[in-house]
Structure 1
Amino acid sequence: MQPYIVILAGGLGAKLWPESRHSKPKQFLDLLGTGRTLLQMTYDRFLPKFSKDRFLVITTKKYLNLVKEQLPELDEQQILLEPIRRNTAASLGLVAYLIRKLDPDAEVIVSPSDQVVFNETAFFGVLDVALQASRIGHRLVTVGIQPHSPETGYGYIQYLEGTTDPVKKVKTFTEKPDLALAQTFLESGDFLWNSGIFIWKNESFIRAIELHMPEMAEVFEEGDPYFEGPEEAAFLRKAYSLIKNISVNAGILVKSDDVYVVTGNFGWSDLGTWRTLFEFKNKNHGSNVAEGHALLFDAENCFVKAGPNRLVVVQGLKDYLVADSENVVLICKIEEENRFREFLNGAKDKGAEFI
């Protein structure tokens, strides 16, 4: 049987605010102007290789209608709804216990819903290597991206050196380092960006949950009679009140001795910030990106995105983002992505309609 393709689609995309909103975060937006949203592009990427019935999308109940609207090909049973956001350990734990009920021998490929891949042939070559590796023992395999700059918005994976095997044992995980540490990682040569793409036998991941998050295993074990039934939603509301809000990296992978990484080099980005989105856009002679009704004068290295009903005129700016979206206009240094939580908290104080 083919692996299950699990697409994580519950994130908020905070660093692409105000374009990405709580009501419609970035995975549901067409950020590249292709006519397809990031969620749809993720589905499109896997569909030629895997049967439609092997897809599962996990999100929160708030986004059910968006998923149904954008992926009408899926049955509603293929959309798993978390009652509240509890981070990726809970999301993948729920998926694992549900899949165990459907197919005890299943293999799983986990993909975020908000990434782009430009070399799909190389991408699936890496997945083939990772699938083969995941069949050995209880390995949990992740895909690491060969870094080309000291990015502070990505997590990093350090692997053990001394082998030419493309599948390497993971030594450490580091979440979003500061610039100096990211530069050190880049220069060391044994660190990769953490893509958040995972490959494993479902039973291997459940074993890891039982070992490293036994309290979560106990909660989901009790759900077996309710999964796929009329009482599932009520059970999940209770279960999620008991589960930790923690990432799969922090809750399981950093504690496990069975984690391996395969290096990927297939034109990857998670489009997590305005700066990374800016890198993918075609630029004019001043290295600017102007979208919508935008006029730039004496500007350099700026990203100006105007809304459909407003003319935005910018003069004399360098290295700035100007984003006009619905009822918010954001003007900030394009490199100041680490301040977006501060911006959002200020916007929230002004009213929920601004976030």
Structure 2
Amino acid sequence: MTTERNNYCVILAGGKGSRLWPWSRNKFPKQFTDFFGVGRTQLQQTFDRFTHILPKENIYINTSCDYLDLVRGQLPEVAADHIMAEPIHRNTAPSVAWAVHRIMMFDPKANIIISPSDHNIVNDTAFYHNINEGLMFVEKNDAILTMGVSPTRPEPGYGYIQKGVYTGEGDIYKVQAFTEKPDREFAQMFMDSKEWYWNTGLFLSNTKYLRQCLCGFLPSVLPVGEIGEKITTIKEEEVFVRENFPRYPNISLDYGVLEKSENVYVMKCDFGWADLGTWHGVYESMSKREGDNVVIDSDVILEDSANNIIKLSKGKLGIINGLDGYIIVEKDNVLFICKKEESSSLVRKYANEVQIKKGEEFL
């Protein structure tokens, strides 16, 4: 069994969520919204879930300086030195490197869970079991463990992990390959093969090994190696971050470390999972009502309409007639309607166009 006090979680909550525009906005991204109308935001639900596995004081939040006040407001129980606010947006590798250093300053024997802040978990009991099993594995092994879920549809918007040799422990396999966002035909082949899992973005490792990987594959990310060893207080660390973080590469942990390391494994998990990444992905993952429409916490009257996803603000009534296969999203000062199948490219296209023609207030 792992020692609970040596287990930690870092929740990554600094993303802008731009693919879910206009519900997710630059000043108020999706992780800070109560997307499903359950009374807790995505970030709060993620935090709540990990408090069933770890002591609250072992949970850290990584975010952007832009969202520091949002994190403090939504998670007042998290101590100030457990919130790491980056001075500029970067990808997950620099974020994880900073978190590893922060935790190892106080516990060099730590095991760490890296978790997104905006995923939908269906079965919490299975989630707790899978995470605890994973923590026991990384405590005993110098390895990075990814959490995989069997695909339920040929989703081209997700990353995929191919399992390799069985380890002999639980449902854990050596990783054979990673593939990011294949086209639908390949996604169908992956699904049919039973060898590929969806990459949930959840990673576990012991911090000693993870720091070793970061030093070896990404020596330019902070604060690892000799420089990191000389920084022994939070004050010193935060000064270092403010001065150096903008120089660090915009690179993901997946690309920078996982795809290069020899000791990466995947656990087949059964907790049920959806990435709230794109409108089409949300549609595919949700249960459907009459006409295969998905209505998310919204007041609507539908007639002669099918295969749509609808998300409106509280207090707004939507009356929709004759639409098939559309996204209808309203938030604050933006109403966005487009064909569902083309939504990923159109969200990006129109968000860029709006920024140029109308300014930041609409993003």
Q: TM-score range by the shorter chain?
A: over 0.9
Counterpart code for 1:16: L
Shift of 1:54: 0.3
> What's the TM-score, normalizing by structure 2?
0.91
Name the CA shift for 1:150/1:283 in 2 (closer, same or farther; >3 Å): closer
Shift of 1:12: 1.5
Which residue among 321, 339, 360 is the counterpart of 1:352?
360
Residue 218 (structure 2) pairs with residue 213 (structure 1): yes
Name the CA shift for 1:158/1:75 in 2 (closer, same or farther; >3 Å): same
Equivalent residues in 2 for 1:154-193, closer than 5 Å = 154-161=158-165, 165=169, 166-193=171-198
Shift of 1:204: 0.6
Shift of 1:153: 1.2
Q: In 2, Cα distance between the equivalents of 1:305 and 1:137? A: 44
Q: Which moved more, 1:245-254 or 1:304-313?
A: 304-313
Which residue among 324, 327, 331 is the counterpart of 2:337?
331
Write the deviation string for residues 260-305 of structure 1: whole angstroms up to 9, x where unpaired. Answer: 1111111211222223433565654333244545332211122233
Q: Which moved more, 1:172-181 or 1:211-220?
A: 211-220
Write the deviation string for residues 111-166 of structure 1: whole angstroms up to 9, x where unpaired. Answer: 11101212122112211221222123421111011111111111111111466642
Shift of 1:238: 2.4
RMSD: 2.1
Name the CA shift for 1:223/1:156 in 2 (closer, same or farther; >3 Å): same
SS in 2 for 1:216: coil
Residue segments in structure 1 that go unaligned for 5+ positions in a row: none
> What's the TM-score, normalizing by structure 1?
0.93
Residue segments in structure 2 that go unaligned for 5+ positions in a row: none
Identity of aligned residues (%): 40
Which residue among 280, 284, 307 is the counterpart of 1:301?
307
Count of aligned positions? 355
- Which residue pairs with 2:291 in the alignment? 286
Residue 120 (structure 2) pairs with residue 120 (structure 1): no
Counterpart code for 2:249: K
1:6 and 1:108 in contact (8 A); partners too: yes
Counterpart code for 1:57: I
Q: In 2, Cα distance between the equivalents of 1:335 and 1:137? A: 43
Counterpart code for 1:304: I
Counterpart code for 1:265: D
Q: In 2, Cα distance between the equivalents of 1:128 and 1:150? A: 29
Q: In 1, Cα distance between the equivalents of 2:46 and 2:249? A: 28
Q: In 1, Cα distance between the equivalents of 2:76 and 2:95? A: 22
Equivalent residues in 2 for 1:1-355, closer than 5 Å = 1-161=5-165, 165=169, 166-216=171-221, 221-223=226-228, 228-279=233-284, 283-290=288-295, 292-308=298-314, 310-339=316-345, 340-349=347-356, 350-355=358-363
2:147 and 2:200 in contact (8 A); partners too: yes
1:294 and 1:305 in contact (8 A); partners too: no
1:109 and 1:200 in contact (8 A); partners too: yes
